[in-house]
Structure 1
Amino acid sequence: MKRKAQLMLLFLILPFIKGSLFNWRYKKYIISKNVKNNYKDSISGTVQCSEGYINQTLDHFDPLVKGSLQQKYYVVNDFWKKPDGPVFLFIGGEGALSTYFLTDGLITEIAETHGALILGVEHRYYGESLNVDSLKLNNLQYLSSQQALADLAEFHRVISDKYSLGPNNTWICFGGSYAGDLSAWFRVKYPHLVYAAVASSAPVRAVTNFEAYNDVVKTSLSDTTVGGSQQCLSNISSAFKEIQLYLDNNSLDKLHKDFKLCSPLKSANDYAAFLSNLADPIEGAVQYNTNGTSNSIGYICKLISDAQGSPYERAIKLNDDFLMATGADCLESSYLDMVQMINDTNVNKTASGVGERSWTYQTCTQFGFFQTCDNNTQCPFSSYMGLGLYLDMCRDVFGISPNQVNASVNFTNLYYGSDTPKGTRIIFINGY
């Protein structure tokens, strides 16, 4: 059986959530590349990381609900100056928590400087922190940012008892992307437990139709300071315009052959899925921009500029390069196949990577973050990449209507304060 590029767009524990529903193969690829290339001047070879589990309450807000789950955590105490050294809490996001982020980079450097105990907590329903039936629809109701914050509060209590921590041990939490939200919100909602928070690339304002995402993509592709150029942007925009013309003219067999699609294009949602997956390496390069690797603006722009032929033919080359890099034989384009994949409740597929079903559920029930081009005249891609694709996915997988998606996004902003949260000692680190 051919390996398919299960291209499920969307955002993880690295800077800002890239994705809403598609391109999970690409997401795993990006994570592995960042892990290998970030923080090269590290001291991780000498840092020891131990792991453990705590028994978390399934529902922190309803005592009548019975059940629990085992939540995974990690401890690095190489630098801890007992008994009064601070505690650095690294919060996991929408994927399995890697020990790499606790034994390398900034948090390790400042822990060594300040004699801190480093703790890492995996998010419920991701990685190994879930039960065998967690992904079934009736159990997904216990997956939310509110439950995750309550998990952190309970973790604080358990670890304080285990390590005899007290008022002299200052807790500071860290997180990036969605976990950056959680870091800020933990300080806002539980200020008595955490003294300060570091929130890196934290999208604290939820939005259903996230058209502005591709505004940044467009600007970055033409910015020479990050490896882009006006010619690069022009080539990409022209390529997608030509692809859209083929779709408008029903030249589907040509697109199927040229872009090595896994299945025939049959519906408007297939068109949107195909185009979103085709755009994803470009969007991902802008988001992560790991210099010196294939997931960088410079690499994308050089490839699409150096390739021979028309912009359309250069887009074919870019897609071929992406399929080769991710080890895929074809580009996923079937909306129904994607629905089937998100409907998979097998938790064994979640432990080693990102949580496709879990994160899709959270986007539908709390955050949106659906990256579209349907009303954005500045988008360098295609207007076929519309909001309807994502709203249909929420409905067809979870039975959540468009009105419910919008209501949930509005509630999230009301509950946490959107982009004006009322908290103190929160450091928001953002880049452009």
Structure 2
Amino acid sequence: MVISPKTQALVLPWLLLWFTSFASSSSPLRLIPRLGVHGPIARNPRGKNNFFESKMDFRTYYYKQTLDHFNYQPESYAKFEQRYLVSSKYWKSANSGPIFAYLGDESSIDDDLAPDFLTVNAPRFGALLVYIEHRFYGISIPLGTREEALKNGSTRGYFNSAQALADYAQVLLKVKNDFSAQTSPIIVFGGSYGGMLAAWFRLKYPHIALGALASSAPILYFDNITPSDGYYTVVTRDFREVSESCYNTIKESWSEIDKVAAQSNGLSLLSKKFKTCKPLENASDLKDYLDSMYSVAAQYDSPPTYPVNVVCDGIDGALMGKDILGRIFSGFVAFRGNNSCYDLDEFFSSQTLDGWQWQTCSELVIPIGRGSNDTMFPAAPFDLKVYSDYCMEYYGVPPRPHWITTYYGGHHIK
């Protein structure tokens, strides 16, 4: 089920379910649906810093984590240092305070140390806060550097959700022991992919976690349980509810971009109009960025900024006489601020791109697509064969589109 971003904002406004569609016209790296935009660009499109002011309240620890929890070969016992952070600022005591555990997702744990549901509610419940970094992200990298680990087919095999859940179980038991908190109940939290992990952790380790809060967790977006165009339908609805003219301008803009790009100097014209820091190599780069911007605005459409309104006010408030792309650029500037140039690669760190590409090319096959008339975006139906062929060519292994529902359950998750 896909919940309206405005409803999601009431729970965990900083969590994002964001996908780049799987379209055969896009460049290979953009063929993979993505979850979770992280970092200051997503949280603050204009660049204002609201990074967690009390980060100093957290102490950093490292756990010597087991590489392979499920086999007993000699190499399974290799260790790597997994980072986790703990704040006892609001903790009442082991006898009366719970443990709120944030399960890291597809980025550095540093990106998640922002004001959120945990930090807001920790004082009320007297909770111990624990933030755990996901293996292969941030600095919790097994067997060398991230680049080396992801290039090695054998090493990549240890990079999956089941191993990550077992990591979290080990760390949480360690925290309970170190803080003499054997009787403290643990509630796990996460959003987007992290929300899936929270739900699955409660499913697989009910003796460790008393409960889980999984926000914007697309646990039913596998194996065709949910219509593939569901997410983009919701994003479109958010924009259309704010402004019909804004919705129409966006919908008409895609063909206009293609029309300009087809000219002999079209890419140069688009680069100048949108003030890109690097010259565009193809129209897909610009369209993917705008796709991302609209999705981010919808997913974070919460007070006080209401970014969908910001984008649409920019588009609708453009100077009289501006053409479609001029109006789109006005919305672009309203969202990002007036900069000398714009980096179209800023939404994702390389570690998120590289790591998430492997995860979605192996077990997390999320069939996100778009129909021809149901959204404000260009049609881009999900094609499992093209998807599988790309993953096979890139990694040498085919994706397993039915594994998540087999291992964790679909509608019957309990």
Q: TM-score range by the shorter chain?
A: 0.7 to 0.9
**Partners of 1:206 and 1:367 within 8 A in 2:** no
**Partners of 1:178 and 1:202 within 8 A in 2:** yes
**Partners of 1:291 and 1:298 within 8 A in 2:** no
User: Structure 1 residues 318 and 118, CA, compared in 2 at 3 Å: closer, same or farther?
Assistant: same
What CA distance in whole angstroms lies between the structure 2 residues aligned with 1:25 and 1:156? 24
Structure 2: tracts of 5 or more residues without a match: 1-12, 21-28
37, 42, 60: which one aligns with 1:51: 60
Where 2:366 maps in the other structure, the secondary structure is strand
Where 1:394 maps in the other structure, the secondary structure is helix
Question: Structure 2 matches for 1:87-166, cutoff 5 A?
Answer: 87-98=99-110, 101=113, 104-130=115-141, 131-132=144-145, 133-138=148-153, 139-166=155-182
Quote the residue 1:377 is aligned against: 373
Q: 1:241 deviation in Å?
A: 2.8
What CA distance in whole angstroms lies between the structure 2 residues aligned with 1:254 and 1:323? 24
**Partners of 1:273 and 1:385 within 8 A in 2:** no
**Amino acid in the other structure paired with 2:403:** F
Quote the residue 2:324 is aligned against: 311
What CA distance in whole angstroms lies between the structure 1 residues aligned with 2:198 and 2:46? 21
Deviations 1:349-389 (A, max 9, x none): 76xxx52200111122122336433x342121223686588
**Partners of 1:73 and 1:122 within 8 A in 2:** yes
Quote the residue 2:394 is aligned against: 397
**Amino acid in the other structure paired with 2:323:** S
**Partners of 1:89 and 1:172 within 8 A in 2:** yes
Quote the residue 1:362 is aligned against: 359
297, 301, 313: which one aligns with 1:289: 301
User: Structure 1 residues 175 and 329, CA, compared in 2 at 3 Å: closer, same or farther?
Assistant: closer
What CA distance in whole angstroms lies between the structure 1 residues aligned with 2:110 and 2:126? 22
Where 1:368 maps in the other structure, the secondary structure is coil
What CA distance in whole angstroms lies between the structure 2 residues aligned with 1:371 and 1:158? 38
Q: 1:413 deviation in Å?
A: 1.7
User: Structure 1 residues 316 and 156, CA, compared in 2 at 3 Å: closer, same or farther?
Assistant: closer
User: Structure 1 residues 29 and 177, CA, compared in 2 at 3 Å: closer, same or farther?
Assistant: same
What CA distance in whole angstroms lies between the structure 2 residues aligned with 1:362 and 1:289? 28
Quote the residue 1:229 is aligned against: 243
The reply on whether 1:216 has 2:234 as its aligned counterpart is yes
Deviation larger for 317-326 or 302-311: 317-326
Where 1:214 maps in the other structure, the secondary structure is helix
**Partners of 1:47 and 1:78 within 8 A in 2:** no
**Amino acid in the other structure paired with 2:59:** S
Structure 1: tracts of 5 or more residues without a match: 1-12, 333-341, 343-348, 423-432
Q: 1:52 deviation in Å?
A: 0.4
What CA distance in whole angstroms lies between the structure 1 residues aligned with 2:332 and 2:159? 35
What CA distance in whole angstroms lies between the structure 1 residues aligned with 2:410 and 2:264? 42
User: Structure 1 residues 252 and 87, CA, compared in 2 at 3 Å: closer, same or farther?
Assistant: farther
What CA distance in whole angstroms lies between the structure 2 residues aligned with 1:80 and 1:18? 34
Q: CA RMSD in A?
A: 3.7
Q: 1:114 deviation in Å?
A: 2.2
**Partners of 2:16 and 2:36 within 8 A in 1:** no
Deviation larger for 105-114 or 316-325: 316-325
Deviations 1:208-245 (A, max 9, x none): 7842221112111111xxxx211110111111232344
Where 2:326 maps in the other structure, the secondary structure is helix
78, 81, 87: which one aligns with 1:70: 81
What CA distance in whole angstroms lies between the structure 1 residues aligned with 2:332 and 2:381? 17
**Partners of 2:46 and 2:336 within 8 A in 1:** no
Quote the residue 1:16 is aligned against: 16
**Partners of 1:14 and 1:177 within 8 A in 2:** no
**Partners of 2:196 and 2:218 within 8 A in 1:** yes
Q: 1:187 deviation in Å?
A: 0.5
User: Structure 1 residues 392 and 276, CA, compared in 2 at 3 Å: closer, same or farther?
Assistant: farther
Q: 1:135 deviation in Å?
A: 2.5
**Partners of 2:108 and 2:137 within 8 A in 1:** yes
Deviation larger for 27-36 or 149-158: 27-36
**Partners of 2:101 and 2:188 within 8 A in 1:** yes
**Partners of 1:53 and 1:71 within 8 A in 2:** yes
**Partners of 1:259 and 1:319 within 8 A in 2:** no
User: Structure 1 residues 59 and 327, CA, compared in 2 at 3 Å: closer, same or farther?
Assistant: farther
238, 242, 258: which one aligns with 2:256: 242
Deviation larger for 143-152 or 383-392: 383-392
Quote the residue 1:417 is aligned against: 409
Q: 1:91 deviation in Å?
A: 1.0
What CA distance in whole angstroms lies between the structure 1 residues aligned with 2:324 and 2:46? 32
User: Structure 1 residues 125 and 45, CA, compared in 2 at 3 Å: closer, same or farther?
Assistant: closer
182, 207, 213: which one aligns with 1:198: 213
**Amino acid in the other structure paired with 2:83:** K
**Amino acid in the other structure paired with 1:49:** F
TM-score, normalised relative to structure 1: 0.74
User: Structure 1 residues 100 and 280, CA, compared in 2 at 3 Å: closer, same or farther?
Assistant: closer
What CA distance in whole angstroms lies between the structure 2 residues aligned with 1:191 and 1:200? 19
**Partners of 1:19 and 1:370 within 8 A in 2:** no
What CA distance in whole angstroms lies between the structure 1 residues aligned with 2:223 and 2:271? 30
**Partners of 1:275 and 1:384 within 8 A in 2:** no
**Amino acid in the other structure paired with 1:48:** D
User: Structure 1 residues 211 and 55, CA, compared in 2 at 3 Å: closer, same or farther?
Assistant: same
User: Structure 1 residues 254 and 46, CA, compared in 2 at 3 Å: closer, same or farther?
Assistant: closer
Indicate the percent of aligned positions where both proteins have the same amino acid: 27
